[in-house]
Structure 1
Amino acid sequence: MIKNYFKTALRNLWRHKGFSFLNVLGLAVGMTACALIVLYVTFELSYDSMHKKSDRIYRIICDIKTPTEVINASGPSWAVAPHIDGAFPEIESAVRVSRESFLVRRGDVKFQEDKSAFVDSAFFHVFDFELVKGDRRTALNNPFSVVLSESTAKKYFGSSNPVGQTLLFTGDAIPAKVTGVMKDIPENSQIRADLLISMSTLTRNLNKGLDDQWGNYGSSAYVLLKPGTNAKALEKKLPAFLEKMNGKQMKDSKMYATLFLEPLRDVYLYSTRDGSKTGNITNVYIFSMIAVFILAIACINFINLTTARSTERAKEVGIRKVVGAVKSQLAGQFIGESIILCLTAFIFTLIVSALLLPLFNQLAGKTVSSGIFSNLTFVGILFIGSIIIGFLAGLYPALILASFKPVLILKGRFSSGSRGILLRKVLVVTQFTISISLIIGTIIVYKQMSYMRSQDLGFNKDQVLILDTNGDKAKKSLKEEISRLPNIKSIAMSSSVPGGGNPGAYSEIENKKGDLQVANLDLYFVDFDYITQFNMKMVAGRPFQKEFATDTTQAMVLNEAAVKMFGYSSPDQALGKRFKQWGREGKIVGVVKDFHFRSLQENIKPLSMRIEPDGCNLITVKIAGSNLPGTIRSIESKWKELIPNRPFSYEFLDEFFDSQYRAQQRFGNLFLNFAVLAIFISCLGLLGLASYSTMQRTREIGIRKVMGASVSGIVNLLSVDFLKLVLVAFVIASPIAWLTMHYWLSDFAYRINIVWWIFALAGITAAVIAFVTISFQAIKAALTNPVKSLRTE
């Protein structure tokens, strides 16, 4: 019997190849999109899941309250981790991670290793990164001990064993011993490094006394709690610990720290701490909803097309019932057909997903999966999901078909009824509600991205080349030599550029009341040419000038946000006021107009600038537009002549600044692609329904043509009912899309307004797409010879 049902199902599907193809195509596209989104969402949710003790690992974060503001720091002071380790019995281990960039050499092989980090000796006890060579208990115990990733070890040592061999670090060629090789850290880890250096190298040699610096912030810190420890209860004990260890210094500096424990698994997606907002749980929610929506649209297509064709199979159902078939057998037959369609779609899904995965990884900007078949559990879940989808999507049509009364069917009195028509209308409205919502969302995402790219940043970033000397002794000589080259319009040095990180500096600035007010100001070390090079506007006072000898040690320039912080109503009021900052004292000589030195997702923060030649490691070169490749080659030649031990590399400032928005741009690209797929699937269903509707009205169309109806009149007749459904969908979709995108835009400090024409454009777009889809069948029917149409019945 099962074999007979299977044959019948295949024959029926083959007999109606067009409808079967639309069903399989719609399901395959929907399941493929859903599968890729599930891979992406699963990857995002898997960050730091490779650590077996991840539920006991917490990052120590810190709020620093000053008289001016509360600073939400992503880590505590350097002294916290080494002192907290033995202070509480609840803590099993504590480690610090300080990201660095090192020049590393071995013979003629040299690289600037940007993914480097100083880590404490307990690093491999707290985190489960696999060590393939060396002893994880002792690899980082001694100063100048280095652990390499497998890819980094191969880069320097080829196939030979690197353990016990030496690498040279920094421009001073400091020897360091390789004590271990670890597997490359997975991409779904928020701690990423290709080279680990023992923390004692820093604290005992390069920066002695760092372990006892309670006012110096700069590293991340993690604690591994003992099993059964209540993190919140431990967190309540931390204020007393800080008061005991650092109470007097906090009082003297007027900077009061409060420590918190943040679960490791929450850092990537949920943390809002400065420098840590790498993932976005909102985007995960949005893509999860899109996956559900696309799958729902695909299932709706199936239900619509199957119920629409129910009248064609009425006689088959009637005859089967007359010869003794019961409802369960008929329902099983039709559900079986549905499952066969879904399993066919499943096979296509696997093939298409495997082909599209490399492109999808590229769009996502990360390797969310190395291959569909690399995770057999996922394939198994997809297979079971296909069967469940087939069962659920085929259940309602099966029950409808199985409930037909054979007497009415065989007497020719069968009518599909208004309930089936109403259901199809509801499902079409649902489809287009989702599609229109996605169209609105896509327009808003791209409008926001365009807004950020076109916003006046307050400085000129075009044709500016960035060279990072990493503090090389020849950096000043390099600047002078490059300045003499042709096509060089200007050149400057600084500690940072807009879009790059910059340290917060403990500062005391004279406020409106005449008191020295404590604040943590962002700090740029610059030279005399920096402000001029970037065309920054002075709103009060003057920029730094060589004519004033005291500018090198006793002058500061603030931005407008800093002036407001200290209570001044106009920039002019801040001129001549006193400052103290990192051992320097002097007066404010100028106020620069606010410019966006961070992402437009953040408000402009208070900024200070000082002349500090030794702190300027970046050279920014403004280049004339002509012969750009030749100019870069000339700069490279000077680099190799003066800094031969460092590899030459450069970035353009506009690309560097725009890199802050890559995550949002990737989100926009993925959003657009999935929106297009959702619309495509909706159109497949609409095409099938229009085709069936046209077929059902073949005789009516023939009569209307005989009576003189025009082609346009017939097209309008067949289209108007569907377009009404699109209009209803637009009315429902608009408020839903507005609420969702308003929530998404709340992440941006500078954002667009959601204007009415976005909704109008989305509605018109959906209507045009629907009309074109329907018209394909309507025009075909309208052009058919009416004699042929009337002969069909």
Structure 2
Amino acid sequence: MQISNFIKTLFRNILLHRGLSLLTLLGLSLGIAMGLLVLIYVYFESNYDRFIPHSESIYRLNSYGKIGEDTIHSALTPIPLALESKRTEGVRSATRLMPGLSRVIESKHFRSLESNFFYADSNFFEVFDLPFLMGSKEDFRNDANAAIITVSASQRLFGYRNPIGERLKLDNEIDYTIKAVVEDIPVNSHLRFDILGNWAAVERTIRQDTLSQQRTMDRNWLYLNSYSYYLLEDGFTNEDVFARLAYQAMKKVNIQIEEAFGSDPPGSGSVQLNFGSISIHDINLYSDVNNELKDGSNPIYIKAFTGIAFFILIVTAINFMNLTTARSSRRFKEVAVRKVFFARRKDVIVQFLTEAIVYSFMALFLALVLVELFLPAFNTLFNINMSTRGFIQRPDLLWLIIITLITGMMAGSYPALFYSGLNPISIIKGSSKIKKAGILVRGFLVTAQVALSILLISLTLVMYGQLSFLKNADHGFSTKNTIVIERGVSTPQELRDFKKEIIRTGIVQQAGIAHFSPGEDGNIISFRSTDEEERVMLMATNYVDDGFFKAIGAKTALGRLFEVSDTSDVTKIIINESAARMIQFCPESNHQIELVGGRSDDETHVYNIIGVVHDIYFENMKNPSRPMVFIQNHRNQAPGHIIAQLSTVSPKEELIKKLNAIWETKFEGSTMQHHTLQKVIDNFYSEEKRFAGIAFMFSLLAYLLSVMSQIGFAAFLLYYHHKNIRLKTIFTAPYKRIMMETFSSFGIFVALSLLISIPLSVHTSNIWLSGFYKSFNPSWCYFLIPVVLIASTYILITYVAGKRELNKTFK
């Protein structure tokens, strides 16, 4: 009964004071809505692969090691490792996933380049029990030439025809038959594939080719080329199982290292390989290896977002306190009457806490509506695919209610203590007055909010400044009129013929062929200098032709670039500056490097360095450029891309149309796939751009909340000084003097927030910039802009509030 009376009183006060109540509810709703959006994002990033049955028992193996001075941190593992896992006690099943790279796939209906084609063991779906729409996992397990396709890939390739039984011919001469269709892999999964081919067909082909260098791959512990997973038996812990597995695996690795390098390997133990395991739940946030199937998220960002989300809720509660007590005289008499009629202090506390909690749940309802409205725009803006499904359900709904309760209790704590401590006799006599301590408490709360808004605005400006710097930085290649044409359905020779044709027509100024283009990982192979054979080095390799460096706009540091006459001598190579520093290249000497790992009998082993180019960033500038060796592309190496520098005689769109027309003439029914090198740079920093966008939303919300808090504090000060204002107005005191005396403490708290926030903003910005190999030096403007914004807001609020109060006094 008492609670219902409190709720009635709340709604009566809301109707009596609509403006302030609406401002209070809106501030609380915005804070909860933004907090929910952030928590949904954190939920999305923290719940990778949880849709898979028994996902808590699935682990992936990683490779760690050392070759010379270089370390190995890779998600790829040797093929025999999964076979060893199956024999380990406590493992129910173990399987492998092998990247198929980009494959040209033909059927009687289409010819298509598929970049998400993978091979998998026949028992893959015993570990990853994905939902089947057509067919079953037994169909895949029992047929060595079986293929599985996702529903979206099926619709893209076959339309609405039934794909079951369709034959697929790969460009490596292996045939598959589609046996089943599975649901699309959810976005929040580290797995990604459109088509899975049974690895058994590849193994059979390799074994039949007695001349193949890969026929011993299933016994080679030093060749990293597969993703290995295992599913634990019930009742076993991963620590015990992995310890047994690692012990057996390391014995076999050490045997092969000794066979390959002798009992005393070069560099005295410079070749090492061991393994680690990670739960598939932790791959997205906590993986510390390269060669991931999908780029993970930065856990620091997720922790920062979580902290900011809860901080926003705290600031929202503080804002509620300020606005609730801003016009406290309106509730003084109500509290006095309740106390005169024997209401205890506890009753008053319960009343105001109840009001705050009801306010919070009203705000929660409005916040959920705002979340549903803003979530599509949030997804589009930050290139993610989140939904409230899965978040707003048990037990998460329970946590949502608990968080709302806590927010309401925090928001109502100060008003409850403030009003319950009032003396009813003083209120009735009209001698009740807020103590100066009340000004200090509110002032420090405003200081914290204003300082936070300045910090977030400064950090957001620095983030966008760094993004602008990175996009305009020299990545070692030219983005002006330069495009990358995908191999598509062409054969290697057809792609070379297409390159000659577009050069002949004059559509492009320069064109070159490369196996890897910027934005892709090159093959990592071990080399050693012929002058220093005991030192093994890991370097990326790329197979290019004589036109590549001119087309990409690379600059020569030493020596020369490839020429047409060099094609007959494949021993000539070019390295980048990072590789030159690693091998201590001396241009005066005839420097040679020798291929150590990944070679076959028909491939050159010793190379002569004829030139050094400035570093070309195939990855972003968070880290130094990887040492890279550029080897001449020959008939044994299938080209992956054409890098083309468009002519300037016509608009870019018109030239691309002409290129596409030539492509369609050569490859009927196929569309030329291309992208610009500028897009590659944009993709380098997509995570930072997304984080900066979210930081912008945080800073905007923090600024709006600080404005509401300042409005509440200004209203409170006007109430606190209302008698003085009236007296001074009667005695015709100047307007400026009245306002200065009324809002002097307000100005002090705003100035204090500036003193706190500016050094904190500089320090925080420097910490964030330290995560980049190359960064810009922010000027003072990045920290002055939010100061000017806050100062202008303070002046505007005090002017409008003061003018309004004086007008009321005159009336």
Q: Who is 1:225 aligned against?
A: 232
Q: Who is 1:37 aligned against?
A: 38
Give how far 1:257 is off. Answer: 1.7
For 1:301 and 1:385, how far apart are their aligned partners in 2? Answer: 17
Which secondary structure does the structure 2 equivalent of 1:43 belong to?
A: helix
The alpha-carbon distance between structure 1 residues 745 and 779, as it changes in their structure 2 partners (threshold 3 A), is same
Mean alpha-carbon deviation: is it higher for 673-682 or for 582-591? Answer: 582-591
For 1:414 and 1:482, how far apart are their aligned partners in 2? Answer: 88
Q: Who is 2:647 aligned against?
A: 624
Matched residue type, 1:595: I
Give how far 1:177 is off. Answer: 1.1
8 Å CA contact 2:546–2:562 kept in 1: the answer is yes
Q: Who is 2:49 aligned against?
A: 48
Aligned partner (choices 320, 345, 348) of residue 366 of structure 2: 348
Mean alpha-carbon deviation: is it higher for 755-764 or for 630-639? Answer: 755-764
Q: Who is 1:60 aligned against?
A: 61
For 2:160 and 2:441, how far apart are their aligned partners in 1? Answer: 66
Q: Who is 2:790 aligned against?
A: 766
8 Å CA contact 1:310–1:416 kept in 2: the answer is no
Residues 108-507 of structure 1 aligned to structure 2 (within 5 Å): 108-159=109-160, 161-163=162-164, 165-171=165-171, 175-205=175-205, 208-227=215-234, 228-231=236-239, 233-234=243-244, 235-245=246-256, 247-249=258-260, 251=262, 255-276=271-292, 277-369=295-387, 375=393, 378-379=396-397, 381-469=399-487, 472-473=491-492, 474-507=494-527
Q: Who is 1:18 aligned against?
A: 19
Is 1:600 matched with 2:607?
Answer: no
Give how far 1:95 is off. Answer: 2.0
Question: What is the total number of aligned residue pairs between the two structures?
Answer: 780
Q: Who is 1:560 aligned against?
A: 577
The alpha-carbon distance between structure 1 residues 404 and 709, as it changes in their structure 2 partners (threshold 3 A), is closer
Matched residue type, 1:691: A
Matched residue type, 1:224: L
For 1:389 and 1:595, how far apart are their aligned partners in 2? Answer: 51
Q: Who is 1:589 aligned against?
A: 610
Mean alpha-carbon deviation: is it higher for 172-181 or for 481-490? Answer: 172-181
For 1:11 and 1:759, how far apart are their aligned partners in 2? Answer: 45
For 1:381 and 1:362, how far apart are their aligned partners in 2? Answer: 27
Which secondary structure does the structure 2 equivalent of 1:294 belong to?
A: helix
Matched residue type, 1:417: K
Is 1:612 matched with 2:627?
Answer: no
Is 1:730 matched with 2:731?
Answer: no
- Give a deviation string over 1:534-592, Cα, whole Å, max 9, x none: 232222211111234654x1101111211221234xx5246543434633133111111
The alpha-carbon distance between structure 1 residues 349 and 404, as it changes in their structure 2 partners (threshold 3 A), is same
The alpha-carbon distance between structure 1 residues 308 and 248, as it changes in their structure 2 partners (threshold 3 A), is same
What percent identity do the matched residue pairs reach? 26
Give how far 1:530 is off. Answer: 1.1
For 1:367 and 1:549, how far apart are their aligned partners in 2? Answer: 48
Is 1:694 matched with 2:718?
Answer: yes
Give how far 1:495 is off. Answer: 0.8
For 1:324 and 1:86, how far apart are their aligned partners in 2? Answer: 76
8 Å CA contact 2:442–2:713 kept in 1: the answer is no
Which secondary structure does the structure 2 equivalent of 1:85 belong to?
A: helix
8 Å CA contact 1:311–1:415 kept in 2: the answer is no
Q: CA RMSD in A?
A: 2.7
Mean alpha-carbon deviation: is it higher for 739-748 or for 115-124? Answer: 739-748
8 Å CA contact 2:527–2:593 kept in 1: the answer is no
Matched residue type, 1:446: Y
Matched residue type, 1:476: R
Q: Who is 2:211 aligned against?
A: none
Give how far 1:525 is off. Answer: 0.6
8 Å CA contact 1:699–1:789 kept in 2: the answer is no
8 Å CA contact 1:436–1:762 kept in 2: the answer is yes
Q: Who is 2:594 aligned against?
A: 579
Which secondary structure does the structure 2 equivalent of 1:124 belong to?
A: helix
8 Å CA contact 1:723–1:771 kept in 2: the answer is no
Matched residue type, 2:341: V
Q: Who is 2:677 aligned against?
A: 653
Matched residue type, 1:170: L
For 1:181 and 1:67, how far apart are their aligned partners in 2? Answer: 46
The alpha-carbon distance between structure 1 residues 755 and 488, as it changes in their structure 2 partners (threshold 3 A), is closer
Matched residue type, 2:609: I
- Give a deviation string over 1:720-771, Cα, whole Å, max 9, x none: 4223212222333345445544443343222334666544444333333333
Residues 526-537 of structure 1 aligned to structure 2 (within 5 Å): 526-537=544-555
Which secondary structure does the structure 1 equivalent of 2:116 belong to?
A: strand
- Give a deviation string over 1:169-191, Cα, whole Å, max 9, x none: 33578542112211111111101
- Give a deviation string over 1:420-440, Cα, whole Å, max 9, x none: 222211211221232222122
Give how far 1:705 is off. Answer: 4.8
Which secondary structure does the structure 2 equivalent of 1:498 belong to?
A: coil
TM-score (norm. length: structure 1): 0.92
8 Å CA contact 2:146–2:179 kept in 1: the answer is yes
The alpha-carbon distance between structure 1 residues 528 and 344, as it changes in their structure 2 partners (threshold 3 A), is same
Give how far 1:387 is off. Answer: 3.5
For 1:428 and 1:601, how far apart are their aligned partners in 2? Answer: 37
- Give a deviation string over 1:442-499, Cα, whole Å, max 9, x none: 1222222122112122221221111121561411111111112233111111111222
